[in-house]
Amino acid sequence: MQHFEFEWQTEDGLRLYAQGWQPETEPRGVVCLVHGLGEHSGRYTHLAAFLNRAGYALLAFDLRGHGKSEGQRGYAPSYEVLLDDIANFLAEAAERYPDRPRFLYGHSLGGTLVIEYALCRRPQLAGVIATGPLLRTAFEPPAWKLTLAKIMRSAWPTLALSNELDRQALSRDPEVVRAYNDDPLVHDRLSARLGMDMLQSGLWALEHAAEFPLPLLLVHGGADRLTSAQASREFAAQAGEVCTLKIWDGFYHEIHNEPEQAQVFEYLLGWLESNLRNKQ
């Protein structure tokens, strides 16, 4: 497994950090990963190792305001800017692997972003994977907090408070939760603008699910207390035959960090392999 790092500068002047892992031989395909809220690309090294053994390269970048990338923690000026960042990321992947099939993979906030990116930008990709996407929350946010966020979205969009994430709901593996708590690159900031954009984007995606243009693997933990598995079921029903839905009963939010992660990875690989065969 070969590891490398790179970066690029956004149109508004931020330096975004990215890294990649590739097998010793020419990769059969490239998976381009977008992480979730508050975390960073370095939490996916175990996924990279698995994909490398199967002959796939994995590229990942830290969203603006996350990990080793620049920007105010937990803030983005708009969802369109985040989609632009993904476009630049995919362009980097195409330049590095010009003749390899590319898959766009997103988890949680990243899952919503990759779904919206496919719906809005209609990219030339082999397929999209979304795990635990934030189409709706699995809980009802307090009404007062939503009202405050709506006001501050315009009056003070950069105002960032704790996201109050229930970290015990990430994984049934206590070591995953401990590592998350001890990770200096993890943060709990969420701005009023990004918070409202996240909620509205998920609802918009649900309304437009029938227009999804690419093969989609939609995966959710059935016991996810952070993002709604039922919303993923609704999206899949509307998207139709382009979408493969997999609900893992009893699994928490980070299905790739559950004790049964090996089963999850094998399932993801099976879908990748199937789509590669369809492209040949």
| Locus of tokens 């988890």 | 107
DSSP state string for 196-259: HHHHHHHHHHHHTGGG--S-EEEEEETT-SSB-HHHHHHHHHHHGGGEEEEEETT--S-GGGST
Question: Which position among 41, 69, 108, 201 bears the catalytic label?
Answer: 108
Distances (CA, A) of 51 to 18, 30, 46, 58, 82: 17, 9, 9, 7, 26
Question: Which position among 224, 228, 232, 256 bears the catalytic label?
Answer: 224
Question: Which position among 40, 66, 253, 256 bears the catalytic label?
Answer: 253
- Report the distance separating Cα 190 and Cα 17, nearest Å: 20
- Report the distance separating Cα 145 and Cα 57, nearest Å: 41
Catalytic status, residue 224: yes
The CB-side HSE value for 51 (13 A sphere, CA atoms) comes to 30
Beta bridge partners of 103: 31, 127
- Report the distance separating Cα 246 and Cα 250, nearest Å: 13
Catalytic status, residue 253: yes
Catalytic residue set: 108, 224, 253
